[in-house]
Amino acid sequence: MKKIIYRAILLILLPIIISGQDFSITKIEPPNWWTGLKRDTLQLMVYGSNLNHVNVSSSDGLKILQIHHLENHSYLFVDILVDKYTKASTYDLFFNKNNDTLRYSYKIKEREFAPEDHLGFSNEDVVYLIFVDRFNNGDPSNDTLANSLDEFKYKDLNGRHGGDLQGVIDKLDYLSDLGISAVWLTPTLENDMYMSYHGYAATDLYNIDKRFGCNELYKELVRRAKEKGIKIIYDHVANHAGVNHPWVENLPTEDWINGKVGDHLSANHDKISIVDIYSNEISQRFNEKGWFTNYMIDLNQENKFLANYLIQNTLWWIEYAGIDGIREDTYPYANQKFMSDWAKAILDEYPNFNIVGEVWTGEPAFLAGFQKNSKVRVDFETNLPSLIDFGMRDAFYKYLSGERGIYEFYSTLAKDYLYADPNNLMPFIDNHDVDRGMYSANGDVEKFKIVLTILFTTRGIPQIFYGTEIGINEGGHHGRIRKPFPGGFPGDERNAFSEEGRTNAENEIFNHVKKLIQLRKNYPALSSGNLLHFKPENETYVFFKESKFHKLMIVINNNDLDYEVDLSRMNTEIDRSDSVLEVISNQLTDFNENGNLILPPKTAKIYLLN
């Protein structure tokens, strides 16, 4: 008589082994699924031993579409049908080989969120980038992890400092008070790795790193943030994973990754080769298949099983946690056909969702080729709606560092004709990979306030880095750029989350940022209105933002002295009266006898014209 071994596995990811005499099952991914998705074929990745010749069936009406046996008998892929007729239930899957049958309970759930409930992000939002390990330590008990492979300690620039998901939850009121409407979190998946505090070398794609919290806490963070009107943007990495991922010791297929540990190409970072019509195959191969570092495996998205795995993993996190958007890391380094399919699969499921891709080039002519419906790359559809705006970032840096003047902003924006949708770009001054804005400005608060004013009033989705709002002044090394937020960690001498804990200069910057965000809410023209600008003259720059209800004029004086800004060119835009309201200070300002405005040195002003 057939021997049946029963073991029910619910939604847990512990290394429980179901074993028979001939084979065993240790894990199935995804750990569960949902009814009602448009993507009606679910591919299960089964981990175990001796899985060759295993047959799979279900007695509960769950249809098994196909079983894929691999040369590596430690893995098995099973396609099942989960369509609109599939009921939410716990289904028994029977794995049979010879006289052994293993029963595995697999849960398919009702969806918690309607597809349209995933709101995406837009130019009406302000995005706040949190480098989780360096923001706030809400739970010191999880700072260290037994048997961790991370060698670095707190005082090391490359060490873990203890920031976590509870720390983010604890500061949601701070973010809400500042006016933030979307938070981009750096990756929080398990990174059991050398120098892994950054989160970009995952060793488990379905579990949050215990030093950050757990899956349930991530979901709770999303829920609590939504209650305060804050969206969560998930930082996703399709290009690579950590070299300590269990796959590396036992690859499912020989082509699961590009190359091998100790024998692989190195990324040449030739991103423009993707859009260069004269590019060669070798350059493109090194860019796509080269490893970033020796401790990050380069995933081969041309493998159909891995491609399915990555798409399903992304959908799983969207459904499980309820996130509203994704920032895709190292976008041009992954296989571009796959990335297009990946983005389409997500956007087909969630009509309001948004995805912003990291394509690190400041040249709009190259950057524009990666955006959905590109005007300059008509031979390929990326399906990528939004891009990190490195073009504007470069303009900010060149201005702050003194390399260029105010004209740099004008000339950068003048190239927006290249983009399919400039309003869906994400401009920024600084982030976790580049020097802080105040560092680039050599501590010049007035110059920093000018770029903040431009950031919050130009087109696109403004993104600030944690600490930008207080002018953290660091650079030259990733560990310094990612300085712990003062007051976020035990033993900190002051708490910059509070007004009393900030310096006068920090409060000046904080109040300026908060005011600008509030003005975007008061006057939606600043966020989503049409932009009209005039060529800078004598280091002064004037542009307008106009909507159906409001028209505002932004005037910048980059001179070291008071300057009379000539407005005669703007006669068609300005209905001059005796005075005009400057909305940052909320004070009426008089035009002079020439019909012009006199601005103090190194100043940006915003005037309400109607």
Same domain flag for 41 and 73? yes
Looking from the CA of 436 toward its CB, the CA atoms found within 13 Å total 24
What's the pLDDT at 19? 66
Coil, helix or strand for 383? coil
Same domain flag for 44 and 137? no
Query: Residues 6 or more apart from 129 whose CB is under 8 A from it?
Result: 183, 184, 186, 428, 431, 432, 463, 464, 465, 466
Query: Residues 6 or more apart from 119 whose CB is under 8 A from it?
Result: 231, 324, 352
Give the separation between CA 317 and CA 529, rounded to whole angstroms: 34
How many domains is the chain built from? 3
Same domain flag for 47 and 67? yes
Same domain flag for 489 and 532? no
Coil, helix or strand for 362? coil
Q: Structural domain of residue 30, as residue ranges?
A: 3-109
- Do residues 573 and 514 make contact, with C-beta atoms less than 8 angstroms apart? no
Same domain flag for 416 and 512? yes
Domain harbouring 75, CATH code: 2.60.40.10
- Do residues 190 and 207 make contact, with C-beta atoms less than 8 angstroms apart? yes
Domain harbouring 554, CATH code: 2.60.40.1180
Same domain flag for 220 and 270? yes
Q: Which of 522, 556, 573 is the last residue of a domain?
A: 522
Q: How far is CA 192 from CA 206, 389, 541, in A?
A: 13, 32, 50
Same domain flag for 541 and 416? no
Write down the pTM of the prediction: 0.95
Is cis: bond before 252, omega within 30 of 0? Answer: no
Same domain flag for 532 and 506? no
Question: Is 329 annotated in the active site?
Answer: yes
> What are 455's two structure tokens?
């950031």
Q: Which of 86, 109, 132 is the last residue of a domain?
A: 109
Q: Say which of 209, 235, 358, 435 is annotated catalytic.
A: 358
What is the mean pLDDT of each successive set of 10 residues along the chain, which is 610 residues long?
A: 37 50 94 98 99 94 96 98 96 95 97 97 99 98 85 82 98 99 99 92 98 98 99 99 98 98 94 92 94 96 99 99 99 98 99 98 97 94 99 98 97 98 99 98 98 99 99 96 97 98 98 99 98 98 97 98 95 84 96 93 96
Question: Is 288 annotated in the active site?
Answer: no
What's the pLDDT at 578? 73
What's the pLDDT at 154? 76
Beta bridge partners of 298: 240
Q: For 572, phi and psi rounded to 5 degrees?
A: -75, -15
Same domain flag for 71 and 156? no
List % helix, strand, coil for the chain (3-state, nearest 5): 30, 25, 45
Coil, helix or strand for 75? strand
> What are 153's two structure tokens?
């300690």
What's the pLDDT at 5? 38
Same domain flag for 363 and 384? yes
Q: Report strand pairing: 540-546 vs 530-537.
A: antiparallel
Same domain flag for 413 and 514? yes
Q: Say which of 329, 394, 435, 469 is annotated catalytic.
A: 329
Q: Which of 45, 54, 65, 128 is nearest to 95 (CA)?
A: 54
Q: What one-character DSSP code corresponds to residue 378?
A: T
Q: Which of 60, 83, 109 is the last residue of a domain?
A: 109
Q: For 557, phi and psi rounded to 5 degrees?
A: -115, 110
Domain harbouring 498, CATH code: 3.20.20.80
What's the pLDDT at 610? 79
What's the pLDDT at 4? 39
What's the pLDDT at 20? 66
Query: Residues 6 or more apart from 209 whose CB is under 8 A from it?
Result: 188, 189, 190, 191, 192, 199
Same domain flag for 271 and 382? yes
